[in-house]
Structure 1
Amino acid sequence: MSEPRADFAILGGGLAGGLIALALRRADPALSVVLVEAGETLGGNHRWSWFESDLPEAGEALMAPFRKLNWPLGYDVHFPEHSRRLGSVYVSLASVDFDAALRRELAQSTIHTNRAVASVDARGATLEGGERIEARCVIDARGFILSDAFEGGWQVFMGRHLRTDRPHGVDRPIVMDAKVRQHDAFRFVYTLPLAADELFVEDTYYQDTPELERAALSARIDRYCDTMGWQGEPIAYETGVLPVVTGGDLARYQREVRIPGVAMAGARAMIAHPLTSYTLPFAVETALLVAENRDLPGEQMAALLEAHARRVWKRTGFYRMLGSMLFGAAKPDERYRIFSRFYRLNPALIERFYAARSTPADKLRTLTGKPPVPIPRALRALAGHRPALTSRKGSQPNG
């Protein structure tokens, strides 16, 4: 069975794929776009957060249809040596609201959920069951592919959406609470006040292995909530295991995974922040790029996005270097010291860091001063190699 030929077939309804579909719809409603997602909902079970300053005007317009939470009072961070309140406006989007807005904004014929892709080529995709979708342009945004072309560590997390039995009194996010026991990793707890009686509490680890011990992390969230005086009932959970890329060969990866004539976006194209796994500004940038070049044939769109991925890789080299020092120069229980020092810096510098837009002056300021790790170990870490990112347990990052 074949469907009529579409202008675009987008494979993967995560952040990257969904925003590309929306950007195309807003740029030209006459375009025929098919968005294919293997899961039941677009965006999976996820939450994306960013600073208000991360997005250009066009990016703000693209994100306007989504229901978002916004904290104009700024956010807090806590470390054993110090705590700080920063005034940056923080924003967050839940996948349930991502799914709802896309179903409202896109044409009814666009979204195809619970449809796994069996094979892909430059002319379209064949779904499991044999259905064929033909398209002028095919964009694959189905998520990161494990590859020994890259090396690094892992970011492992468990989040809990909690309804408290009384108002919790938290009026702004706690983006990083690293006063907790470190457990042989850089560990911090991240908390968002979603409503007067709702919290999102996430326990995060920068660790050497991809193991996610669900029972242990859940128990630690219990203890953290008890310590903070938050009692109540869980509403939902979220878990993830994400690569923290500290080095590698992007060109080799592109050669290995490239399907001639098929464009790649999102984590599949390695378009993300290598150290923080920050994705939303990157996904918005890619979506706008595709929409601006929507008349290109598929082969040229594939070349355009491959070149875009190379530009992102080049501009994020500084963060891979910092990741090498985080994992290679600091003992696991001492890794938090790197972020403790970093969060003493200028708030605007911190915002640019997360959006991978650090200026030369930002980079110099980040590296100067009393080093949080021994210099000889930092040099050895930069000269050495991390394990290849070829095995993982846990969830697939949303593309």
Structure 2
Amino acid sequence: MAKGDERRLLIAGGGLAGCLAALAMAHRRPDVPLLIVEEGQSFGGNHIWSFFDADVAAEDRWLIEPLIGARWRGYYVAFPQHRKKFAHGYNSMPSELLDRHVRETLGSDRYRLGAKIVAVREDELVLEGGERLKGAGAIDARGAANLSLLDLGWQKFVGREYRFAEPHGVDLPVIMDATVDQSEGYRFVYNLPFSDEHMLVEDTYYSDTPDLDLPELGARIEAYLQKRRWNPAEMEREEKGVLPVAMGGDFAAFWRMGGARVAKLGLRGGFFHPTTGYSLPDAVCCAALLTRQKDLSGAALHDLFQREGARLWNERRFYRTLNKMLFRAAEPAERYRVLERFYRLDPALIARFYAGQSTMFDKLRILSGKPPVPIGRAVKALRS
């Protein structure tokens, strides 16, 4: 049986992209009926999303502002031969805050939890058991689908939140502590200090495969705590993730593979930074774009986000080129030198890089000077 308001907007998936789209429409287009459907029992899963101030445009800050759980006035990076403090703002958003805000903003009549979606069509969601939800248009934001048509590396991590018996002494986030072992490829530890005794410690590394070795990363975190003399420590929660790092591929075919003629957001639509895999800035931009769309039919929504995804894919070719050099030109134990050199550049350039807004001068500056990888290997990687 089909149920629903044929005027409403349907959003499949209550992760970051789906939730931001629903919140944006509730605030800017309250006249539009909507329903967001999530398989889990809460929105956002078990995550902490973080972003630099420059990642979100001032005109879009209203959407993300109520979701920020922690703010800092700067951050650090650390490499074997280079350490630096940056004075750019940094923010974190816990999934618990996102979940609460979505529930309070939408009200129970505009969301549905614990409902498994088996199919998304232009104007319909099909649930397990055969129930069909109808609407004017549907958006699929259920996370990554088939990524096989993209040429990818991976950024993998396990993060643990700890309560320490004594102050840990970290005053600002450490975005990258790459003073750890680099023998297997680029690796760093990420620290988010929420209070003097409360901190997220996350082990992250770049890899050619998406497989995540949880026991190994857990052991690395414990060794890091021992090295920093942060024991005893009580673990409060753990999160994990595998993010795509794009080097190439057939974007048009990837889009179709995720659901032909169906609008898509988040990783399912290819909306992520090619180098970091982070999707929050794109999720904010896409949510704002949705609120400006007059025609909310399934076909119009598909065309809107397909065009936007293709535009970003074409504009971000430079980042995919850099990724090839990192993964295929640098020896695993020497890959950290690429990032170490990058963090010696102008802080404003670095901020634009993470926001996906590098200028032509930025690109020339990044590529100029003595390269941290052999020229022959770089040329071979770029030709591959």
TM range (shorter): over 0.9
2:174 is matched with: 174
- Match runs of 1:177-256 below 5 Å: 177-231=177-231, 232-256=233-257
2: CA distance, partners of 1:331 / 1:264: 36
| Matched residue SS, 2:129 | coil
Asked whether the 8 Å contact 1:48–1:93 carries over to 2, the reply is yes
CA distance in 2, matches of 1:108, 1:57: 30
Cα distance in 2 for partners of 1:365, 1:374 equals 18
Secondary structure of the residue aligned to 2:240 is: strand
Kept after mapping to 1: 8 A contact 2:117/2:128: yes
Q: Determine the C-alpha separation between the residues in 1 that align with 2:337 and 2:205.
A: 14
User: 1:238-317 alignment to 2 at 5 Å?
Assistant: 238-260=239-261, 262-317=262-317
Residue 20 of structure 1: aligned partner: 21
**Aligned partner of 1:23: which letter?**
A
The whole-number CA distance in structure 1 between the counterparts of 2:55 and 2:126 is: 37
> One-letter code of the match for 2:44?
G
Stretches (4+) displaced over 4 A:
none
Corresponding position of 2:59:
58
> 2:130 aligns to what?
130
1:230-264 CA distances to partner (integer Å, 9 max, x unpaired)?
A: 1210000011122211111101222333332x211
For the 8 Å contact 2:258–2:268, the answer to whether it is kept is: no
Note the alpha carbon deviations across 1:56-77, whole angstroms, 9 max, x for none: 22311111221421101x1110
Contact kept, 8 Å, 1:122 with 1:259, in 2: the verdict is: no
Distance 1:62 1:148 in 2: 33
Bigger CA drift: 47-56 or 233-242?
47-56
Superposed, 1:79-94 pairs within 5 Å as 79-94=79-94
Residue segments in structure 2 that go unaligned for 5+ positions in a row: none
Does the aligned pair in 2 maintain the 1:278–1:354 contact within 8 Å? Answer: no
Closer, same or farther: CA 13–183 of 1 in aligned 2, 3 Å: farther
Give the Å deviation of 1:183.
4.3
Aligned residues of 2:149 and 2:251 also touching (Cα < 8 A): yes
5 Å-filtered alignment, 1:14-163, equals 14-72=15-73, 74-163=74-163
Shift of 1:91: 0.8
Deviation at 1:46, TM superposition (A): 1.3
Q: Distance in 2 between matches of 1:233 and 1:205?
A: 24
Please tell me the residue identity of whatever aligns with 1:21. A
Work out whether residues 278 and 355 of structure 1, in 8 Å CA contact, stay in contact via their aligned partners in 2.
no
Three-state SS of the structure 1 residue aligned to 2:309 is: helix
Structure 1 counterpart SS, 2:9 = strand
Output the amino acid matched with 1:52.
D
Secondary structure of residue in 1 paired with 2:230: coil
Alpha-carbon offset, residue 322 of structure 1: 0.5
Residue 84 (structure 1) shift:
0.7
| C-alpha deviation, 1:101, in angstroms | 1.3
> Which of 1 and 2 has higher RCO (CA within 8 Å, sep 6+)?
1
Question: How many Å separate the matches in 2 of 1:218 and 1:183?
Answer: 18
- 1:196 and 1:121 mapped to 2: Cα distance? 49
In 2, Cα distance between equivalents of 1:33 and 1:183: 50
Residue pair 2:168, 2:230 contacting (<8 A) in 1 also: yes
3-state SS in 2 of match to 1:370 = coil
Percent identity (aligned):
44
Distance 1:168 1:297 in 2: 52
Once the two structures are TM-superposed, the CA of residue 132 in structure 1 deviates from its matched residue by 1.6
Are the structure 2 counterparts of residues 341 and 217 from structure 1 closer, same or farther at C-alpha, using a change threshold of 3 Å? same
Three-state SS of the structure 2 residue aligned to 1:65 is helix
1:48 shift after superposition: 1.2
Deviation at 1:294, TM superposition (A): 4.4
CA displacement, residues 126-156 of structure 1 (integer Å, 9 cap, x when unaligned): 1112222111010001111233321121111
Q: Give the Cα separation in 1 of the matches to 2:41 and 2:187.
A: 32
Residue 215 (structure 1) shift = 1.0
Once the two structures are overlaid, the 10-residue window that deviates more, 89-98 or 55-64, is 55-64
What is the number of residues matched between the two proteins?
382
Cα deviation, residue 340, structure 1: 0.3
Which residue pairs with 2:10 in the alignment?
9
Equivalent residues of 2:50, 2:90 under 8 A apart: yes
What is the distance in 1 between the residues matched to 2:220 and 2:298?
Answer: 48
Q: What is the identity, as a one-letter code, of the residue corresponding to 2:206?
A: Y
TM-score, normalization by structure 1: 0.93
**1:21 and 1:220 mapped to 2: Cα distance?**
38
CA RMSD of aligned residues (A): 1.3
Deviations 1:3-30 (A, max 9, x none): 3225111001111100000010011223
Q: Tell me which amino acid in the other structure corresponds to 2:36.
A: L
Q: TM-score, normalised by structure 2?
A: 0.97
| Deviation by residue 1:280-305 (Cα, 9 ceiling, x = unmatched) | 11100000001110443221111011
What is the CA distance between 1:31 and its match in structure 2? 1.7
**Is the Cα contact below 8 Å between 1:12 and 1:36 reproduced in 2?**
yes
CA contact (8 A) 1:207 1:332 kept: no
Structure 2 partner of 1:367:
367
Q: Tell me, in whole angstroms, the C-alpha distance in 2 between the residues paired with 1:103 and 1:212.
A: 32
Letter in structure 2 aligned against 1:166: E
